[in-house]
Structures are given as structure tokens and as C-alpha cells.
């Protein structure tokens, strides 16, 4: 029997390389579409595998890529300009990449009769919430960045325009953490560890602000379950992606890093943060549908990053390749 073909856009990225590795292990044929802004070394562990096809191109050039959709079982759409800093460089590029290309991709997936379209949105769409309350998928969204707004527009129009013809499943992932073959140091946990190493300091901006976190390998496990489902229980569903025990105050993340790895470094607390996001999320729907336990945790992930930095695994820690800007 021929292996099912899965399209993964952004497959060389921080999350994407985990997704690709998981699918290759499960004997899917994976087509990665990625413009390789930071090179494709993140896929070194699976390069040469007969079930992997790598296409280096910008997703906005879909006329060059549409043939790859023919015969595909699913599209996992991760590619985007990610984060507020990257999107603020050019509003036009942000909208054309995050919104226009997404809608065109789903339209082509429908044309080629792809069965499933998995869209990675963002929990940043919740923006600023009352952290005494827990936001679920029906909570009113309150985006504070262009990035989040482009993702909300995608969510709305994917369901409105395509849900009758293709199985759309949308995820709002927590802020991710941990080691990846395409490492990032502009995410809260990873950044705290890096600063402690490079600058001998731990700074916490907005210590009481709340952020749900999630290990970077979780999306791969979740998406695989969606692909392998032979019913339609995920059709037109939106999920907060994460776990209830990983809603953290920023001060608590910093304390974990300090107390376990940098006891000799004092912590500096700055009351305000220019990043206004603060929200506590409910993940009961994800638990009900997927019944997964966390694949890692903050302490384990921090230890791996700590060891990798200490052994100089990442090379130049100030390299631009580690930041999505």
C-alpha cells in the first residue's frame, strides 16, 4: 500500500521539524514546503529518507507548488511570519504570508480533494484577559498584535469558506519551549536560560503576567492523531493546545530556571512589560478529544537547553538564526 502523503508547510521551523520527524517515523510520505529563511539543517536527521520531499519556496508562490497537493491526505499548515516583531516589519508581507497564502492554500487543497487541513493559529489571539478567569475556545478574543489578528482572520474565513468541503481543524497553541533542531531563543523559557548564560542575569518583565506554555514536541503528537482519525470528530473544531498544569506566571518560570540551574544569579524584576499578553487557558476540550499527557515539562526541557548551551551545541548563541525577526 502506498504511503499517505502529508504536506507540511513551515516544516523546517522550530515546531515543524518535530512534526516532520514524527510523521517520517510513522511511515508517511512528507512533503515539506518552506522558504528556508534559516537554512534546512533542522531536517538533517531525516534528509535522505525516501519518504521525504523538500521544496524550498515561498508559500506565496503557490502556482509552483500546487501539483504537490494532488494525492495528498492532509495539509499541516505551520508556515507564517511568526510573532509580533516579525510581523511589524511589514504589514503587507504579514498579511500576504499569514492570511492570503493560507486562504489560497486551502482553496487549492479543496480543488485537489485533500481530506484534512490542519491550521496552526495562536493562543496570542486571547491577548489580554482577566487572569482570574480561564479562557476557553468560546471566550471573546482580544488580540494586541498584527500577528494575532492575521491568525484570527484565517480562522474565521477557513471555517466560513471551506468547512463544507474539507475537514478543517484549528489549533491555538500555547507558547512553546524546549530544544529543537531549528532552535529559537526568543521564547520566554529559552530566552531566560540563554540570558543567564550569556549575561549572567535573569530579568523578569511583568512578573505577574500569565502565559500558558507547552513543550515544542506536543503539536507533532496532536497532529498525528488528527491525521490518523478515520471519523470526522475533529471537523470544524477549534482547540486550545496545551495542558491545564502549564499556565504559569512569568515569575514562576524564572524561579524554576534560577532555583534549579542558576542559584548564584540574582533575579531582577521589572514591573511592566511592553508585551501586554496575559491569559490563562482552559485545555479541557483538548483533553477530552485527545486524552494525551504532556510529553515533557519545564524542568526536563530546561535541563536539555542548559546542557546544550554548556556543551556549545548551538554555536554562536547571538546568531540571527535563533530569532524570528
pLDDT per position as a tens digit, 294-318: 999 999 999 999 999 999 999 999 8
Question: Can you tell me the distance from the alpha carbon of 157 to that of 121, in angstroms, rounded to the nearest whole number?
Answer: 12
Same domain, 93 and 198: no
C-alpha cell at 120: 496552526
pLDDT band at 83 (very low <50, low <70, confident <90, very high): confident
- pLDDT digits 0-9 by tens, 243-265: 999 999 999 999 999 999 999 99
User: Domain total for the chain?
Assistant: 2
Portion of the chain with pLDDT greater than 90, in percent? 83
The beta strands (E) that lie in 143-257 are given as: 167-173, 175-177, 202-205, 210-215, 237-241, 247-249
Question: Can you tell me the distance from the alpha carbon of 27 to that of 3, in angstroms, rounded to the nearest whole number?
Answer: 7
pLDDT of 67 higher than 90: no
DSSP letter string over 108-131?
HHHHTT-SEEEEE--GGGG-B--T
Same domain, 306 and 254: yes
Same domain, 135 and 192: no
- pLDDT digits 0-9 by tens, 11-59: 999 999 999 999 999 999 999 999 998 878 899 999 999 999 999 999 8
> By the 8 A CB rule, do 192 and 302 touch?
no
Residues 86-107 have a mean pLDDT of 92
First to last CA, the chain: 43
Element (H, E) at 188: helix 188-198
Residue 316 lies in domain: 179-212+245-281+295-322
- pLDDT digits 0-9 by tens, 172-226: 999 999 999 999 999 999 999 999 999 999 999 999 999 999 999 999 999 999 9
Same domain, 11 and 66: yes
Same domain, 49 and 167: yes
pLDDT band at 2 (very low <50, low <70, confident <90, very high): low
Average pLDDT, the chain: 94
Same domain, 135 and 204: no
The CATH number covering residue 134 comes to 3.40.50.720
> By the 8 A CB rule, do 277 and 211 touch?
yes
Same domain, 231 and 277: no
pLDDT, residue 230, reads: 86
227: exposed, middle or buried (C-beta count within 10 Å: 0-12, 13-18, 19+)? buried
pLDDT of 1 higher than 60: no
pLDDT, residue 189, reads: 97
Same domain, 135 and 61: yes
293: exposed, middle or buried (C-beta count within 10 Å: 0-12, 13-18, 19+)? exposed
Place of cell 531525516: 46
pLDDT, residue 37, reads: 85
Q: What residues pair up with 128 in beta bridges, in sequence order?
A: 278
pLDDT of 321 higher than 80: yes
Same domain, 156 and 195: no
Same domain, 233 and 204: no
Same domain, 94 and 20: yes
Same domain, 208 and 229: no
What DSSP designation does 16 have? H
Instruction: Spell 166-197 as b/e; 16+ CB within 10 A means b.
Output: bbbbbbbbbbbbbbbbbbbbbbbbbbbbbbbb
pLDDT, residue 256, reads: 96
**289 located within any domain:** no
Cβ within 8 Å of residue 156, ≥6 positions away: none
**236 located within any domain:** yes
pLDDT of 96 higher than 90: yes
Element (H, E) at 314: none
pLDDT, residue 46, reads: 95
Of residues 289 and 2, the one with the higher pLDDT is 289
Amino acid at each position: 500500500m502506498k504511503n499517505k502523503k502529508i504536506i507540511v508547510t513551515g516544516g523546517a521551523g522550530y515546531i515543524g521539524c518535530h512534526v516532520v520527524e514524527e510523521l517520517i517515523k510513522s511511515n508517511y510520505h512528507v512533503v515539506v514546503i518552506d522558504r528556508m529563511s534559516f537554512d534546512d539543517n533542522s531536517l538533517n536527521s531525516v534528509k535522505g529518507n525516501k519518504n521525504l520531499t523538500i521544496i524550498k519556496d515561498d508559500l506565496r508562490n503557490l502556482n509552483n507548488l500546487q501539483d504537490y497537493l494532488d494525492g495528498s491526505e492532509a495539509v499541516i499548515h505551520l508556515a507564517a511570519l511568526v510573532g509580533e516583531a516579525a510581523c511589524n516589519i511589514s504589514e503587507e508581507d504579514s498579511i500576504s504570508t499569514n492570511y492570503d497564502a493560507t486562504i489560497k492554500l486551502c482553496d487549492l487543497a479543496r480543488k485537489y480533494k485533500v481530506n484534512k487541513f490542519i491550521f496552526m493559529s495562536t493562543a496570542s489571539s486571547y491577548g489580554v484577559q482577566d487572569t482570574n478567569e480561564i479562557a476557553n475556545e468560546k471566550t471573546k478574543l482580544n488580540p494586541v498584535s498584527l500577528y494575532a489578528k492575521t491568525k484570527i482572520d484565517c480562522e474565521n474565513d477557513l471555517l466560513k469558506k471551506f468547512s463544507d468541503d474539507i475537514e478543517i481543524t484549528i489549533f491555538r497553541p500555547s507558547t512553546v519551549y524546549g530544544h529543537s533542531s531549528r532552535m529559537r531563543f526568543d521564547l520566554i523559557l529559552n530566552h531566560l536560560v540563554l540570558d543567564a548564560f550569556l549575561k549572567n542575569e535573569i530579568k523578569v518583565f511583568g512578573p505577574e503576567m500569565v502565559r500558558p506554555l507547552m513543550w515544542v514536541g506536543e503539536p507533532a503528537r496532536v497532529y498525528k492523531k488528527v491525521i490518523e482519525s478515520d471519523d470526522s470528530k475533529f471537523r470544524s473544531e477549534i482547540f486550545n493546545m496545551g495542558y491545564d498544569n502549564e499556565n504559569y506566571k512569568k515569575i514562576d518560570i524564572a524561579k524554576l530556571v534560577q532555583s534549579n540551574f542558576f542559584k548564584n544569579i540574582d533575579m531582577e524584576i521589572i514591573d511592566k512589560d511592553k508585551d501586554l499578553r496575559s491569559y490563562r487557558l482552559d485545555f479541557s476540550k483538548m483533553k477530552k478529544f485527545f486524552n494525551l499527557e504532556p510529553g515533557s515539562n519545564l524542568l526536563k526541557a530546561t535541563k536539555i537547553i542548559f546542557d546544550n548551551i554548556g556543551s556549545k551545541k548551538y554555536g554562536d548563541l547571538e546568531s540571527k538564526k535563533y530569532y524570528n525577526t
